[in-house]
Amino acid sequence: MRNESCDIFCNVVDNYGDIGVCWRLARQLANEHGLAVRLWVDDLGSMARLCPETDAARDIQQCRGVEVRRWIKPFPEVQPAGLVIEAFACKLPQGYIEAVAAQQRSVWINLEYLSAEDWVHGCHGLPSPHPSLPLTRHFFFPGFTSQTGGLLLERDLFTRRDAFQNDTVQQQAFWQSFGMDMPSAETLKISLFGYENDALHDLFDAWASGAQPVLCLVPEGRILPQVKRYFEDAGRDSSRHGDCVGMNPDLQSCNLLVRVQPFVEQERYDELLWACDVNFVRGEDSCVRAQWAAKPFVWQIYPQHDAVHWGKLQAFLNLYCAPLSSSASEAVHGLWKAWNQENGAGQAWSVFIEMRGELELHAQHWARQLAANNLALNLLDFSQKIGRMRALEIEGQ
């Protein structure tokens, strides 16, 4: 059985990761696989940051081949799609679940958060029968190995990335769109997307006092107050160069030039990652995009209260660093830990950047290797398999 329609449910908890993943998946299923996709979102304001053509005041709209619907309460009576994706256990509306059970033809999948931990292998694809209705939900785990559901990767992403990286005209247009000339070849270009981080001061000091000029692009967001404080402290007068929070800035300290830039639409964020030499990212979606950019990167993992994020970070480091030489592996471990512990990032940076050549080669190899395990394809195969099993069960009843 082929699923021709899909409902994706997204509850925006905070930040942009939930909607970032759902919007990406929705576009891919609609535009690459021809499904009629409805994306139900409870916070269209967040969605509009990633896709500015979204009108946050409209309940129903068509965006880039996807029907975007406000997830309202009470939930309207609709016919469930053939494939139902509940993102990150966001809890589907009760009336909708009952309609799914009555219809008996939908495949219901819970798309889980990304983790490199081993336990994911045992949980990927597991069924979870509904306690009272004749319904089964299946868990689908993204991941980095063939025993997981893989990662979201658009069909043409690598072609677009390579075209961008080999085309000076496209790159010039990119820098000009931010009001800048193309940086000189000797400038190290760094994107810095992060949560609040006390290690920033130390890192900026290292960049400012290093031998190589650094251009650091900071997307507006939670780290901005610390950027501002750095330039206010110790007589680095940001007002000479512009107001950081007002975002028209060129903040300079010795060899470091910081440019704060507006949050760009989701597809353009990829260009930023492609244009830079090293990318600092946060959360799971930007972390995956940095891997597709095939450049050395530093992941600030989303912090969780019970510190489970440390296990997740270590699990990813173990996988990612396994093919590296011991000195490159130590350099990555050192900087990622310093950045996430918010301490000692300056020293760790010097060690990391010494390893740049090896880290670049590894990043390219890593991206090619991961690309074989495509989440959207796996999800469709999986749901078709479940659908066929369901049809046989119904036939046999």
Q: Which residues bind ligand TRH (CB under 6 A)?
A: 13-18, 20, 50, 193, 219, 263-266, 269, 282-286, 302
Let me know if 56 is exposed, middle or buried by CB neighbors in 10 A (0-12, 13-18, 19+). Answer: middle
Q: How far is residue 182's CA from residue 160's CA, in Å, rounded to a whole number? A: 19
**Catalytic residue (choose from 7, 112, 284, 285):** 284
CB of 273 to ligand TRH, least distance (A): 9
C-beta closer to ligand TRH: residue 15 or 145: 15
Q: Is 18 an active-site residue?
A: yes
Contacts of residue 135, defined as CB under 8 A and 6 or more positions apart, other chains included, come to 97, 100, 101, 108, 129
Residue with tokens 């000091």: 205
Q: How far is residue 335's CA from residue 352's CA, in Å, rounded to a whole number? A: 7
The token pair at 103 is 């219809």
Q: What is the DSSP letter of 70?
A: E
C-beta closer to ligand TRH: residue 163 or 308: 308
Question: Are the beta carbons of 311 and 325 closer than 8 angstroms?
Answer: no
C-beta closer to ligand TRH: residue 13 or 133: 13
The residue of the chain with the least Cβ separation from ligand TRH equals 17
CB of 255 to ligand TRH, least distance (A): 24
**Catalytic residue (choose from 18, 154, 270, 285):** 18
CA dihedral 286, 316, 11, 103 (to 10 degrees): 120
C-beta closer to ligand TRH: residue 313 or 345: 313
CB of 281 to ligand TRH, least distance (A): 6
CB of 261 to ligand TRH, least distance (A): 8
- What is the 3-state secondary structure of 188-225? EEEEECCCCCCCHHHHHHHHHHCCCCEEEEEECCCCHH
Q: Is 284 an active-site residue?
A: yes
C-beta closer to ligand TRH: residue 141 or 269: 269
CB of 237 to ligand TRH, least distance (A): 27
Q: Where are the extended beta strands (E) located within the chain?
A: 5-10, 36-41, 60-63, 66-70, 83-87, 107-111, 127-129, 136-140, 188-192, 214-219, 251-253, 256-261, 278-282, 297-300
Catalytic residue numbers?
A: 18, 284
